[in-house]
Structure 1
């Protein structure tokens, strides 16, 4: 939906409790007590037709009798009464409601769907935003607002927690209170008929009180909305997520299974979705808060190499063991570091390796000096400082000295002060200084590894992908014709030759294949293909002919083909007399000695849409179970990352006896397959097994494609919107120069950097409303070029420079609200291109795009002195008005209903 009216939920000035009661076990009584005990400063108005006062507050007999319109209504009445209550609230002007009443869990699937439709029809979100039904409520501690059924009040903090589970809501609250952790928001989503993960992520992404966001997720309903919101939020602040995983997929009850959809791929698809969105997945509640503590600091970890400093050898070894088991590395010490510590402590008084073991009675000065030396050593990505209690050396003295030594450090240092008593006070010293601190080395190491993984996910979000080969021109019409021809005949799958023709249309190398209905036709097909050949039985009742001897290889003569076909037919008739025999598949033998057998496939998940799978192939595929999956669309870097998550990737890098496989060709095949299932939505699944891969490239030996009728926009199936190629167009400037206007791509980073560097200081000042530093770093440029096409657009004008190299001449950007109500634009053209009409062309392109996606309004701001921009805006019908908040700015607004089709 959107963030519209969510402020009435999470920043209400007044609250009404509908269905309030004096029964202490009833939700209406619990939420009243929590609201009053929390200290909410606005009016709290209980509505009850049975009690005169509740929790010391006089009641009102009905919603219509309330003295003022509540911003937020907490509805505790039974669910069958909710439609009438929502109707009354809407008439009065209420904009937010939480549904806590009973009844939802006891309904059948049909009853749930019916009550959901009724409530939504009346509420008409975003007119009234609905949290729930079956919600435990929420808390906003900074407002002293506890509109929940929780047993305690959360303390104010910078962490937001959104939970799909009531029990996890209460558990996390208890854990946080015990650990002294505070929250900006705690939200229990309930059954999500309106307000969803995506809505709250969008809301919290710009909330100044929220430094990091934590999610407990069981299922996602709208994958596109979730991925778009999560990617946007994770660019602004850390987003951490916990999901039970395989156990959840096994034990989902009927109600939850209805909500979540039928995920054959189970937890694996959620894992890859979280990674693609730049979020960090953690294992448990402890890990959630450990990671939140470290990710909330401004320091980053750009690798998995850790240096460990400790006064206890065994404790250091345990920490190192946990590091290695988690996929981390022990950082090596530079020679100069070893020499310096030798001079400080003496060679015989420390371990001279990592973990850096120093004397058990080392004082604060020794700790501080060793840490300073380790900070100078660039061989590590972080440092863990541990301290084991020792009576002769006070914990606090060591902690204070270490804190002072780290005051100016820009590198990540974590601490683990073991024990209790003084160790607790030491950890408080570190917490106040902003130094991540833990009570066990296991927690500290886990937090470090989480930071490394999180940074890796963030790098995937902003990594500049390699350009695709320029000779990749898929024959989309050919592929669609093959699929449509099969659908017209009422079939649900392509024949093997049809499947391979479809793959070949997208540039995937395939082995030539023929269909034969008899032994005689098999010989004719073999003669046409050339020997040696393989033949395979075709029968819908025998999906795996190899298991019953229905596959013969390396047949080198017509006689061998004739005899082989006859023997296969005889065996099939004897062993499977019920099977209908369609004939044989005849295939030219693919000679690739030493090639790796891979498997590449694609299928459509009911929620996340098309999914790509890659891994070990051949007959042993099911036994080896070496598969990784990802969501399209893919770039070369994302395809390589998918390959790298499999065990067979180690073999693909080569061995002493085998050269490395062509990883680029494997990655290109993944991209081609990804593009095929996007371009032809009638394809339900693709399976290539085996896909031979060696130093010469790839070759598909087997290919299966299932199909089904499909109506509508195939791209809407994707969880992440792909590059909108249909928006490309060629235009001519006044000088006659040909220019392509198209959406920006991640691969445009280098040319966009040059474009920004070619803008004059005046161009930059007018574009960014002030003086701007020219040294844009990779992260800045990535934000310009790697956009979410579902809610952002950047049209660039590109042409060839005199050397034949591409150059960017101008850009028009729009950023659309999640509810599509408004888009904000910005435009800049290189000074040397002004007067060519390029600004008008870009402006017109952006307006047409905004109109086509049915956005209601296009708005922008410019400086009062920028008369050229204001003139261009007026030309296209924009209304120019002074900005009410800044006299140096003007607002430009275009109502899209006034724009002709």
Structure 2
């Protein structure tokens, strides 16, 4: 039990009670994590506690959480005080603890001492197929359960029994279960599987939401109750490495060599395609997990697991959906700092903007790259990039050398790599002896960072001396990849005696696509991404009060648009200034509004197609007197229907007009975008995107990556430049609002004027929904 009692409006005394038998298992740390989050949501900023001097374990709970704890000894107790505002240190502690927990749960699943395969009365052929091709390391016991598997029990070290009761009677032990049967059957097996010591269940069969009374949610709840992890249902199986040997429980009949890559996908159809490509390319695989319907184990779990695996050098993922995109972005960023992650993201072209318009795959690429994830356009290109990143060092720079036996191939390669190197060095050696000499000279030349070698042997007969010379380029410690007729993937002919590899591709296009992703990742690794943004003077407690008051009046699933005053108050809680406006329907009312707001004023149409279009007569600016105001109102109303209102607003300082938007996307989760008002963003699609939480580097990239960004850095009429730092601060505050308000569906700041004196929003539109998205940081069991 953990609780806090408020002693002042922003201070609370905290206390814990963990049973003696459960101490030392990290429960206090997890309780503090949840209690701190709950307190922050309610405006508490500081925790205090009194601890006996002998309770060093409790003191460590506070200090190990990443908080700066002030201590003082008084009257026989130690008084502690610490701010609970989330810091980079406290976030790192939470994420590290989460990673260890997830990794340990996956390790019990993927490093078993025993495997049990169970075939039921429905879809038993799936279990039979896995059992037929099951590969386990030495010393791993195998138990086969079910009449369909009886004929396979003749192998030494394999026990075949009729049912799980017989397996228990025979003393069978297993940590991994692979099962296939009717939904009710699978759930009925769980008690016996738990008695065998099973920690993870791979469910090959499906039909859980087709059978009355047995849903996927029922399966997950039953598995959770017994302390297990669930892969599936409708999984293709799992494959991993244990002690240098292969463990394969897959619906795949062929062997896959061990290697430095980890792969993840969901559906069996995608898994079969992926294994076919792996087989053809010769890429070695350390771990392969297929999550099926992803009821429990997901791509996030694989990422957490491979973080601790020293054998994995690259991760490839075929993601048909992201599940919890907030957690994926957070976990992927942490993993990508050490291991490159390449993903194909399903439905990439279905990403929609706040107005429902399709944004396309470029948005997915940009938002994923912010977390260090490289987005490939196909399963083949994903595997090609994963292969290069796993077997070759990262490009150290942009200097590219092309060595070719063909002039036409050299010209093609030089044209393709110009996006990375405008003037690549091209060397051509048509004859085999010349190519050997050129490769040797290239190895000793320090003037390149990446080499692309192209070898088209005459009569399709590869010269062993040429292949040896090309393979030796791998020992330079630089990035080398090849296009050699008849050779693909990781091949012994392109492996140096040291074991270093030159990955081979079928075409120049495939090689350059892999190299482009590798160079992009190398640039991301070298960049300074900064710290998590943490704006000052924000009041999320008051913001939640505003939101709760609004949502209390609508039913679950409904959406509601805030009034202008409500939107201004909500944004004000995060330090975002929105200029007040007045809607009027007559000239006298406009004069009253202008006096209240202060001269000069702007007059704007409230009709959507005219609202921001001065060129269409929907906006009149810098109105400084009553006569001009009456005429401006007349002109604007003349452009719209007579019964429509017009807006009166105090004039903001002249500056560059920007559009800041945030919305909840079904694929990516919360998305933040920035563009410049007008044709640049509306017609040319010039906008940048990011997924909160943001780092300072993300905020800077949002601004500087715009094609129209030079307008933000150009001097204004008075010679001063716009305050870009104020714009970056505003973006950070909007990101903080998105993080703090899970019910936010859409936010538009149209426009934000960036002037030498700061950044101010002229209009805000906010839509809330009475739904709750998954929390991005606090851990909780699902189901």
Same fold (TM over 0.5): yes
Aligned pair 1:11/2:92, yes or no? Answer: no
Which of 464, 468, 477 lines up with 1:410 in the alignment?
477
Which of 215, 237, 260 aligns to 1:115? It is 215
Summarize the alignment of residues 316-395 of structure 1 with structure 2, pairs less than 5 Å apart.
Answer: 316-324=410-418, 327-331=419-423, 354-357=425-428, 363-364=434-435, 366-368=437-439, 370-372=441-443, 375-377=445-447, 380-389=448-457, 395=463
What residue number does 1:635 align with? 695
Q: Residue 700 of structure 2: SS of its match in structure 1?
A: helix
Pairing 1:743-892 to 2, within 5 Å after superposition: none
- Match in the other structure for 2:144: 46
Larger displacement relative to structure 2 (505-514 or 69-78):
505-514
Aligned to 2:38: none
Distance 2:385 2:249 in 1: 28
Whether 2:201 is the aligned partner of 1:61: answer no
Deviation for aligned residue 1:60: 2.4
Number of residue-to-residue matches in the alignment: 663
Match of 1:363, SS state, is helix
Superposition deviation, residue 266 in structure 1: 7.7
The answer on whether the counterparts of 1:306 and 1:330 sit within 8 Å (CA) in structure 2 is: no
Aligned match of 2:88:
none
Q: Distance in 1 between matches of 2:206 and 2:774?
A: 35
Residue 463 (structure 1) aligned to one of 524, 529, 544 = 529
What TM-score do you get using the length of structure 1 for normalisation?
0.64
Distance (Å, rounded) in 2 between the aligned partners of 1:245 and 1:624: 23
- 1:71 and 2:157 equivalent? no
Shift of 1:44: 3.2
**TM-score for both structures, normalised by structure 2:** 0.73
**CA-CA distance at 1:86 after TM superposition:** 1.5
Give 1:74-473 correspondences, 5 Å limit: 74-104=178-208, 106=210, 115-124=215-224, 127-140=227-240, 143-246=245-348, 270-272=364-366, 274-297=368-391, 299-324=393-418, 327-331=419-423, 354-357=425-428, 363-364=434-435, 366-368=437-439, 370-372=441-443, 375-377=445-447, 380-389=448-457, 395-404=463-472, 407=475, 409-418=476-485, 426-427=493-494, 432-460=499-527, 463-464=529-530, 473=537
Shift of 1:568: 6.0
Aligned-residue offset at 1:476: 6.0
Compute the displacement of 1:497 (Å).
Answer: 5.3
- Does residue 599 of the first structure (1) align with residue 599 of the second (2)? no
Report the equivalent of 1:808: none
Q: Tell me, what secondary structure is at the counterpart of 1:53?
A: helix
Decide whether the 8 Å contact of 1:508 with 1:672 is kept in 2. Answer: yes
Residue matched to 2:728: 667
Higher RCO, Cα 8 Å, sep 6+: 2
- Provide structure 2 residue ranges, at least 5 long, that are not aligned to the other structure: 1-100
Secondary structure of 1:383's counterpart equals strand
Q: 1:366 Cα deviation (Å)?
A: 3.3
SS of residue matched to 2:260: strand
Q: Using the alignment, how far apart are the partners of 1:153 and 1:249 within structure 2?
A: 38
Displacement after TM superposition at 1:240 (Å): 2.1
Measure, in 2, the Cα distance between the counterparts of 1:41 and 1:270: 45
Q: Secondary structure at the match of 1:634?
A: coil
Q: 1:312 to 1:661 in 2, by over 3 A?
A: farther
Contact 1:482 1:502 in 2 (8 A): yes
2-structure distance, mates of 1:6, 1:564:
68
Separation in 2, partners of 1:402, 1:573: 74
Q: Partners of 2:357 and 2:266 in 1: how far apart?
A: 18
Q: 1:430/1:315 Cα in 2 relative to 1: closer, same or farther (>3 Å)?
A: farther
From the superposition, tell whether residues 298 and 52 of structure 1 become closer, same or farther in structure 2 (CA, over 3 Å).
closer
Deviation at 1:318, TM superposition (A): 0.5
Q: CA deviation at 1:130?
A: 1.6
1:618–1:690 contact (8 Å) kept in structure 2: no
Whole-angstrom CA distance in 2 between matches of 1:393 and 1:329:
32
- For the residues of structure 1 that align with 2:221 and 2:534, how far apart are their CA atoms? 47
Aligned with 2:112: secondary structure?
A: coil
**1:524 offset after TM fit, Å?**
1.3
- Indicate the SS of the match to 2:264: strand
* 8 Å contact kept, 1:249–1:266: yes
How far residue 133 of structure 1 moved from its aligned partner, in angstroms, is: 0.8
Report the secondary structure of 1:319's partner residue: helix
Deviations 1:803-825 (A, max 9, x none): xxxxxxxxxxxxxxx999xxxxx
Match of 1:647 in 2: 707
Shift of 1:441: 2.7
Q: Deviations over 1:203-251 (max 9, x none)?
A: 222234433322111112233443443334333433222224435779x
- SS of the aligned residue for 2:394 comes to coil
Is contact 2:392–2:478 with CA below 8 Å preserved after alignment? no
Change (3 A) 1:432 1:418: farther
CA–CA distance in structure 2, aligned partners of residues 651 and 6 of structure 1:
50
C-alpha distance in 2 between matches for 1:488 and 1:146: 52
The Cα of 1:651 is off from its aligned counterpart by: 4.7
CA distance change for structure 1 residues 488 and 381 in 2, over 3 Å: closer, same or farther? same
**1:506–1:673 CA contact under 8 A, matched in 2:** yes
**Given the alignment, which residue of 628, 648, 651 partners 1:586?**
648
Q: Is the 1:364–1:400 contact (alpha carbons within 8 Å) kept by the matching residues of 2? A: no
Where does the alignment leave 5 or more consecutive residues of structure 1 unmatched?
251-261, 333-353, 722-789, 792-817, 821-901
Cα 1:91–1:158 shift into 2, 3 Å: same
Q: CA RMSD, aligned part only?
A: 4.4
Q: Which SS does the other structure have where 1:29 is aligned?
A: helix
Shift of 1:705: 2.6
Change (3 A) 1:633 1:42: closer
Give the C-alpha shift of residue 586 in structure 1: 0.5
Q: Contact conserved, 1:602 with 1:685, CA < 8 A, in 2?
A: yes
Structure-2 change in CA distance of 1:562 and 1:682 (3 Å): farther
Describe the shift of the 1:466–1:237 C-alpha distance in structure 2 as closer, same or farther (beyond 3 A): closer
Structure 2 CA distance for aligned equivalents of residues 430 and 77 of structure 1: 49
Q: What corresponds to 2:591 in structure 1?
A: 523
Contact 1:497/1:513 (<8 A) preserved:
no
CA contact (8 A) 1:610 1:631 kept: yes
Q: Deviations over 1:389-432 (max 9, x none)?
A: 3589974323334545664x2332333334679x9885355995
Aligned-partner Cα distance in 1 for 2:541–2:208: 49
Cα drift, residue 587 of structure 1: 1.2
- In the alignment, the residues of structure 1 paired with residue 500 and residue 400 of structure 2 have an alpha-carbon distance, to the nearest angstrom, of 21
CA contact under 8 A between 2:283 and 2:387: conserved in structure 1?
no
Counterpart CA distance in 2 for 1:144 and 1:361 is: 40
SS in 2 for 1:321: helix
